[in-house]
Amino acid sequence: MIKNEKPLHPGVVLNEIYMSELSLSQSELARQCRCSARKINEIVNGKRGISPEFAIILENVLGTTAEMWVRMQAEYDLWQARKAA
């Protein structure tokens, strides 16, 4: 990835790829993840990050890897930190 190119927030990937492909609403994903719909809404709108603990939940619910979510979040956070520095 180019250092100046803004990475996608993992919530965008969650929404546009996984939820869209599986035809999952935010409330349905929240139910499956046993969390609030607000949490899912904040993640898909880029207002909240994906913690390692939640990455494990997504791994189990979506059949992805926790490492993928953590890596995406770290890349996004690092880009934000570089821009702020």
User: In order of start, what are the domains of the chain with their CATH numbers?
Assistant: 10-84 (1.10.260.40)
Q: What is the Cα–Cα distance from 56 to 10, expressed in whole angstroms?
A: 14
Measured between alpha carbons, how far is 31 from 23 in angstroms, rounded to an integer?
14
Tell me if 79 sits within 8 A of 10, measured CB to CB: no
Per-residue pLDDT of the chain (85 residues; tens, 9 = 90+): 556 789 999 999 999 999 999 999 999 999 999 999 999 999 999 999 999 999 999 999 999 999 999 999 999 999 999 999 9
